[in-house]
Structure 1
Amino acid sequence: MAGKVITRLGACESGLRVLFTGSLLEELQRVMKESDVIRYRVYEVLVNLQAISPVALHYCSDSGLLTQLTGELSGADVLVQVNCIDMLSSLAQSPHGLNWLVQQGVVGKLESMLTAADSDPMSSFYMPGVLKFFGTMASLRPDETMEHHGAFMKTVFESLDSRDPTMVKVAIETVGMVGSRPDGKMALEKQGCAWADCLKQLGRIILNPPTEMRMYGLTTLASLFSLQVTDHTEDQLSMLEGWFNTFSPKPMDTLMSIVQQPFKNLHCAGLAVLQALANQPWAQRAMANFPGFVEYLVDRSTEKDKMGKEARYEVIKALVESSTTLETFGSPFYLKLKEYYQQGPFYVRVQAEVAMEGSN
């Protein structure tokens, strides 16, 4: 409750002045000494506060409390470091927050931790957080991050094949985060052979247990293949088609084998990949040419639960809203798609029963 009050107070400059001068600031400094938990609660409030505006960041910085947060990186307690890095990742989500971290030398410090991880026996504790931080940074500034912090993507690619499931999970999610926007996709493409190997590894991950890791892999593929129509340039579309043909020798077979499985979470995650692909002409051609795809897509009887019905409907919706679907699939199938779309995800056809009176 106190955190919400402080955040509201910091919504305007006059409130910021009240908060970071005199007795209120002294009270914050006092309670932070009571325990690690309270100290990090205050840090969390500060991080939320600075995200409001560059002006809010200025007041948070001048208070000295954000500098105190970055100082936690140099502490001897690795768990305190882990919490600190998590807070710094949140701070980096705003462009002005990331600029401040660069100016304070925090990004350089985190990269040093990244490159020295092999010689630090405690690195397994903080490495997931460090990768998450650079993933956040790369989602905002992909080219700059990959050009100036080469160790980051190298570590991500290597971690996809790690024996530590936590590192594999973080690496998969980081790839999806970086590749969620067009500029991030282009930056990944520039990684050359290392990126091609990464795509192939994702293809292996989505086919092999454990199920949880397969889910992460499919979610990342959906992020990588997602492209708004306004971003449909020849380069982007050609690049994603190349990725599609790289992640699996038979990509449509791979995806259809997943969406036709009875396991709800995997099934829906596979449909999310098809949804991401559905507005791209080259992907529509791949779908149209796959034996049985069109029949499968409009067959409502194969979906038994709410989650599956909604996931299937999103694929239908993406195809109906695409300007190239009619040309690619032809009028008969397009009309079936449109009917499905208009009827909604939960439509059930009523079977008319006619009672025939016996002639005894």
Structure 2
Amino acid sequence: MASTIESLLEAISDTEDPIEELQCLKTALSSIPASSLGNIVSGRRFEPIFSLLYSDEREQVELCVEILQHILMACSPLQVAQDYRVELQAGLKHPDSNVKILALTQVGRMADNPDATVEILNSRNVMGSVIHSIEEENMTVAKQAIQALSRLSRSPTCLEKLFRGELLTVLKNVMTVSDIVRYRVYELVVDVATMGLDHLSFCQVILNDLIAELTGDDVLIRATAIEMVTILSRCGHGQKFLNEEGVIFKFSNMIKGADEDPFSYLYLPGLVKFFGNLATARSPQKVCEDYPVFLNKVFAMASDADPAMVGVALDTLGLLGSTVEGKQVLQKTGENFKSVLLRMSQLSTSGATELRVRCLEAFSQLLTLQPEQQTEDLLALTETWFCLLSKRPVDTIRDISTQPFPELHCGALRVFSAIAAQSWGQRMMVNTPGFMEFVLDRSTSRSKEAKDAKFELVGALLTSSTATDVLGSHNIIALKSYQNEGPYHVSAVAAVDMEGA
């Protein structure tokens, strides 16, 4: 096979129209196992393929890219860094996006090899070109550049060069190109900062720029900055940094003043998402006690006329209620949360489809209890919440599941899965006429997602320690048979020869 590759390379070098030979080379490389390809390409130079990248013939360029993907992936990252540095530099400036992506992918691979990382970081031209790739109009190229730099930044050497060395100047210059490009750089910096406290320390210069954007005059830029900061709040050291910089207090004040700002609808959802993430990452009780304006605003948004506001409120309530502590915080608000649940009940049956789906998702999170969480108080709490849905809540959710919207069907099944693991939920199910038949009827779930959701419901019932006593042995046998057959089982139907009959 090595001789075949060699002869094809020679043929490609000797022809003016190499398309056919490139096709043959691509086929030959594709047929070689990955474990053997490395030995074949090792020591060979592929200048003819690289040179053919510079052509107006699109098919030729595409074939070269596919061939080089095989070749370069068969090489070690260090070998690529040492032997193809010049080609990488040229590829990063190539007019074709696929060639740029090929080069950026190889740069990203070097993060997996310390020696290759050092090798590529010492090439200022290559690294400068990678940073400038963040400016590209093609979003895929820009994303690939961000990913490559993020992967390299796991190395302390890269952190030093990128955020304190000469490459920082290049990065800062790139940020001046446009608002869009500046936020791409922020995306990179936030991603690196979440890796650890040391990483955040290196990124602090640019993070300070991001924080300054939070109080800028452009409301849209402010909203984007809030989204970026929210990502940082998902890790402990990020929360500490934001707290020390006064960002959390500033956000609390922004929520307080939102009613006086006619443009607050642009950034208010981001602020609520921020505190929702902060509460689940830190402590729902502490966050809601320290910043009471947050939960009050969530309740107000749940009753808002704007569907966008309602949707964010529903998502946030589900996030809060996914933890035991969050459930207890919501329960302590008494009538306030009861009013919200009644509003959710109304929306789940008569709201717009998207809001109904988000209601069902929030309900499933609010009602879920793990086996070790099923204390008497918490079981009473979830049962009370479920009963607020309607006089016959099991029928209400089942009615939603029968409507011709797959997302509603799956959402309803997830609500049933949430209560299926709890004894009171099982009692309601078995006492609702026709419900167990509904669970066992495969014809009610037609899509793959629906079949998976129904199978999850069956599993939730069977894994509960109280299921046998509550449901009865005959239902348990039928559920186990369903589970053993798998989610996609189809019953065989005997064909009848009517003419012969």
TM-score band (shorter)? Answer: over 0.9
Q: 1:175/1:358 Cα in 2 relative to 1: closer, same or farther (>3 Å)?
A: closer
Which of 181, 194, 210 is the aligned partner of 1:51? Answer: 194
Q: 1:136-172: CA deviations, max 9, x gaps? A: 1122221111101111111111111111111111111
Which consecutive residues of structure 2, in runs of 5 or more, have no partner in the other structure?
A: 1-143
Residue matched to 2:30: none
Q: Distance in 2 between matches of 1:350 and 1:344?
A: 15
Contact 2:164 2:202 in 1 (8 A): no
1:239 paired with 2:381, answer yes
1:3 paired with 2:146, answer yes
Q: 1:45: Cα distance to partner? A: 0.6
Q: Distance in 2 between matches of 1:348 and 1:253?
A: 27
Question: Which deviates more, 293-302 or 231-240?
Answer: 231-240
Q: 1:208-261: CA deviations, max 9, x gaps? A: 131111111011111111222232233322221121122333321211211222
DSSP-derived class of the 2:489 partner: coil
Which of 102, 121, 129 is the aligned partner of 2:262? Answer: 121
Q: 1:305: Cα distance to partner? A: 2.8
Q: 1:105-155: CA deviations, max 9, x gaps? A: 011111111011111111111111111111111222211111011111111
Q: Distance in 2 between matches of 1:45 and 1:57?
A: 12
Contact 1:215 1:269 in 2 (8 A): yes
Residue matched to 2:340: 198
Q: 1:304: Cα distance to partner? A: 2.9
Q: Distance in 2 between matches of 1:32 and 1:5?
A: 18
Contact 2:455 2:486 in 1 (8 A): yes
Contact 1:89 1:133 in 2 (8 A): yes
DSSP-derived class of the 2:443 partner: helix
Q: 1:358/1:70 Cα in 2 relative to 1: closer, same or farther (>3 Å)?
A: closer
Which consecutive residues of structure 1, in runs of 5 or more, have no partner in the other structure?
A: none
Q: Distance in 1 between matches of 2:382 and 2:345?
A: 15
Residue matched to 2:441: 299
Letter in 1 for 2:400: I
Q: 1:70-106: CA deviations, max 9, x gaps? A: 1001111111101111111111111211121111101
Letter in 2 for 1:232: Q
Contact 1:201 1:247 in 2 (8 A): no
Which of 311, 316, 321 is the aligned partner of 1:179? Answer: 321
DSSP-derived class of the 1:11 partner: coil
Q: Distance in 1 between matches of 2:455 and 2:235?
A: 34
Q: 1:341: Cα distance to partner? A: 0.5
Question: Which deviates more, 152-161 or 227-236?
Answer: 227-236
Residue matched to 1:107: 248
Q: 1:291-325: CA deviations, max 9, x gaps? A: 11111111123333323222211111111222221
Which is higher, the Rg of structure 1 or of structure 2?
2
Q: 1:12: Cα distance to partner? A: 3.4
Q: 1:174-222: CA deviations, max 9, x gaps? A: 1111111222212222222111111111111101131111111011111
Q: Distance in 1 between matches of 2:250 and 2:420?
A: 42
Residue matched to 2:274: 133
Q: Distance in 2 between matches of 1:22 and 1:306?
A: 52
Q: Distance in 1 between matches of 2:167 and 2:237?
A: 25
Q: Distance in 2 between matches of 1:221 and 1:250?
A: 16
Q: Distance in 2 between matches of 1:118 and 1:183?
A: 29
Q: Distance in 1 between matches of 2:404 and 2:148?
A: 48
Q: Distance in 1 between matches of 2:389 and 2:500?
A: 62
Residue matched to 1:274: 416
Which of 236, 242, 250 is the aligned partner of 1:95? Answer: 236
DSSP-derived class of the 1:124 partner: helix
Contact 1:138 1:146 in 2 (8 A): yes
Q: 1:17: Cα distance to partner? A: 2.2
Letter in 2 for 1:328: V
Contact 2:303 2:340 in 1 (8 A): no
Q: Distance in 2 between matches of 1:134 and 1:270?
A: 28
Q: Distance in 2 between matches of 1:354 and 1:34?
A: 73
Q: 1:49-71: CA deviations, max 9, x gaps? A: 1111122112212xx11011010
Q: Distance in 2 between matches of 1:356 and 1:47?
A: 70
Which of 158, 163, 166 is the aligned partner of 1:23? Answer: 166
Q: 1:39: Cα distance to partner? A: 0.8
Contact 1:137 1:145 in 2 (8 A): yes
Equivalent runs, 1:202-241 vs 2, <5 Å: 202-241=344-383
DSSP-derived class of the 2:241 partner: helix
Q: Distance in 1 between matches of 2:495 and 2:213?
A: 73
% identical aligned pairs: 39
Q: TM-score, normalised by structure 2?
A: 0.68
Which of 327, 345, 352 is the aligned partner of 2:487? Answer: 345
Letter in 1 for 2:484: Q
Letter in 2 for 1:212: E
Q: Distance in 1 between matches of 2:457 and 2:472?
A: 17
Contact 1:9 1:19 in 2 (8 A): no
Q: Distance in 2 between matches of 1:50 and 1:292?
A: 54
Letter in 1 for 2:161: V
1:256 paired with 2:398, answer yes
1:40 paired with 2:183, answer yes
Number of positions where the alignment pairs a residue of Structure 1 with one of Structure 2: 357
Q: Distance in 1 between matches of 2:331 and 2:201?
A: 37
Q: 1:330-350: CA deviations, max 9, x gaps? A: 001100000001101111111
- Let me know the Cα RMSD of the aligned residues: 1.8
Q: 1:357: Cα distance to partner? A: 10
